[in-house]
Structure 1
Amino acid sequence: MNVGKQEKKIELFGISFDALTMKETVALVNEKLKNKEPTHVLGINADKVNELSHKGQFNQIIRRANIINADGASIILASKILRKPLPERIAGIDLMQELLLLAEKKNYRVYFLGAKQTIVTTMNTCLKAKYPVLNVAGYRNGYFKKENWDEVANELKLCEPDIVFIGITSPLKEQLIDYFLEQNINSVYMGVGGSFDVLSGAIKRAPIWMQKYQLEWLYRVYQEPKRLFRRYLFGNSKFIVHVLQELFR
């Protein structure tokens, strides 16, 4: 299948989502890698839709992303309510692991940027056990200031990775990816949030049955109630308002 000719966009909340399955997304990323196209792979959830309403520069970065997936059950549900259904949720951690399989198979060089040094080091060890011939170009923690971005960019230029996974919170990771693209560092970039913590074993992922029934968010609240309860309570309420506005627009 020629993925490029099959690309379909669906407009929601002013964002052009790629209406692709996981398999189609991986195939499209592979095309970008084969063609040496600098690419920003972005997962959108309810939080990011909420952030878009009040962050001008962030809005521009989001809309410039090359591949935009629905990374949240709320986005999939909203797409159905708005009669513009997206095919399936593309969870960031699942896509990351699919791309690691692709990288191992095709010998693409990967780089991990983010989290604490102990986390990213442990994750690298765990991934080497799971993907024994994975070509890791390098890794480093995500604790650096904006004045050090040049230093990190130079490191990437030396390593020449094909795929860069960035485990830093939003909107910083999106701004950092945008900066790397401006520096003409020709890689595929994917922000993966807290996936490094899960893949290192520091945080346990929700059971498969909860993932299947789109309840992974509930498991996260159970793990970190103080940090996430208010975020989900108020964030989800705000997102519902965005859906209603989109519905009656």
Structure 2
Amino acid sequence: MQRQRQLLFGMYMDAMCMDDVIERCRTALATRRPILLGVLNAAKVVELHRDALLRESLMECDLLLADGQSIVWASKLLGRPLPERVAGIDIFTRLLFLAHRDDRSIALLGAKPDVLAEMQRVIAQRFPGLRIAYSHHGYYEAAEAGQIAADIRESGADMLFLGMTSPKKEIFLGSYGSSLDVPVLHGVGGSFDIMAGLTKRAPIAWQRAGMEWAYRLLQEPRRLWWRYLKTNTSFLQLTIREMLHPARAFRVGANRNVAPTRVRIPGTQLRSIADD
């Protein structure tokens, strides 16, 4: 499969549909050659311009996909089109179907202990017999990360899903991804909370209209209104700037996706909330 990429906001993004992504994951499972999936939405576009660790972690992904509809719209406006939105939660669900069908095992890392337990109950109900080789909540100290990574490797899991916020999930994968011996690695952000029923996802019509953020805003207006106002305004400004002066690709060493650089943030506590 020939790889098609578009340079948007300084990042090379993969112009792929969902079926193409799942097929690449099947290949990774068959060959045991790891594939690291990354997703980009408007909030991350804004953040990566000021957060070098997030930016470098995203550049290490084997596939970088459009998680937000705003990214797809911007790509077409800028004349560098991406075919469709490939949302992290939808990749997560499709990969669970794949694991269930093909008798593959999964590992889960993230969320609060009670949310993680509820999500595992939901997974067991929706995918009877699906093997969960390893699970751990996301509220652990930075000093524990190395042991957690070792335990994931020992579990022999075929897929690892991280339900942690950015840039923490990207940093964990950048620090330990190459040592885990897991073919499919995917940071799913707040998807654990959605799968557990803690956060309600927008109806399909809202998703197709690119208004999923507005649906979340209606659920938590006091907490989210200022953040969305700032993020959406900044993203619009970046899009206009991109139209007038297209950004060059960010560089970390060579300008390409590279093997994880084992970036670590001393003293950082990884946590999980549905704020991806």
- Taking a change above 3 Å as real, the CA distance of residues 168 and 184 of structure 1, as seen in their structure-2 partners, is closer
Name the structure 2 match of 1:135.
Answer: 131
1:39-64 residue CA offsets vs partner (Å, 9 max, x unmatched):
21011001111111112232211111
Range with greater deviation from structure 2 (166-175 or 148-157): 148-157
User: What is the CA-CA distance between 1:139 and the residue it aligns to?
Assistant: 1.1
User: What is the CA-CA distance between 1:213 and the residue it aligns to?
Assistant: 1.9
Answer 1 or 2: which has greater helix percent. Answer: 1
Write the mapping of 1:149-164 to structure 2, written as runs, cut at 5 A: 149-164=145-160
User: What is the CA-CA distance between 1:203 and the residue it aligns to?
Assistant: 1.7
Match of 2:70 among 64, 71, 74: 74
User: What is the CA-CA distance between 1:181 and the residue it aligns to?
Assistant: 1.8
Write the mapping of 1:160-179 to structure 2, written as runs, cut at 5 A: 160-179=156-175
Name the structure 2 match of 1:119.
Answer: 115
Q: Distance in 1 between matches of 2:215 and 2:40?
A: 20
Q: Which has the higher contact order (CA 8 A, sep 6+)?
A: 2
Q: Does 1:225 align with 2:221?
A: yes
Q: Distance in 1 between matches of 2:45 and 2:74?
A: 12
Q: Distance in 2 between matches of 1:25 and 1:193?
A: 18
The residue type equivalent to 2:158 in the other structure is D
Name the structure 2 match of 1:26.
Answer: 22
The residue type equivalent to 1:103 in the other structure is A
The residue type equivalent to 1:39 in the other structure is I
Name the structure 2 match of 1:97.
Answer: 93
The residue type equivalent to 1:40 in the other structure is L
Q: Does 1:199 align with 2:199?
A: no
User: What is the CA-CA distance between 1:184 and the residue it aligns to?
Assistant: 4.8
Percent identity over paired residues = 35
Match of 1:53 among 49, 57, 78: 49
Match of 1:84 among 74, 80, 97: 80
Alignment gaps of 5+ in structure 2: 246-276
Q: Distance in 2 between matches of 1:137 and 1:89?
A: 30
1:163-212 residue CA offsets vs partner (Å, 9 max, x unmatched):
11100111111000111224353332111111111111122111222122
> Could you say what secondary structure the match of 1:6 adopts?
coil
User: What is the CA-CA distance between 1:240 and the residue it aligns to?
Assistant: 1.2
Q: TM-score, normalised by structure 2?
A: 0.85
Name the structure 1 match of 2:4.
Answer: 8
Match of 2:40 among 24, 28, 44: 44
> Could you say what secondary structure the match of 2:33 adopts?
coil
Q: Distance in 2 between matches of 1:72 and 1:128?
A: 29
Q: Distance in 1 between matches of 2:31 and 2:238?
A: 37
Is 2:152–2:180's contact at 8 Å kept on the other side of the alignment? no
Range with greater deviation from structure 2 (167-176 or 52-61): 52-61
> Could you say what secondary structure the match of 2:84 adopts?
coil
Q: Does 1:216 align with 2:212?
A: yes
Q: How many residues align?
A: 245
Range with greater deviation from structure 2 (182-191 or 38-47): 182-191
> Could you say what secondary structure the match of 1:157 adopts?
helix
1:66-95 residue CA offsets vs partner (Å, 9 max, x unmatched):
011100011011001101111000111111
Is 2:133–2:155's contact at 8 Å kept on the other side of the alignment? yes
Q: TM-score, normalised by structure 1?
A: 0.94
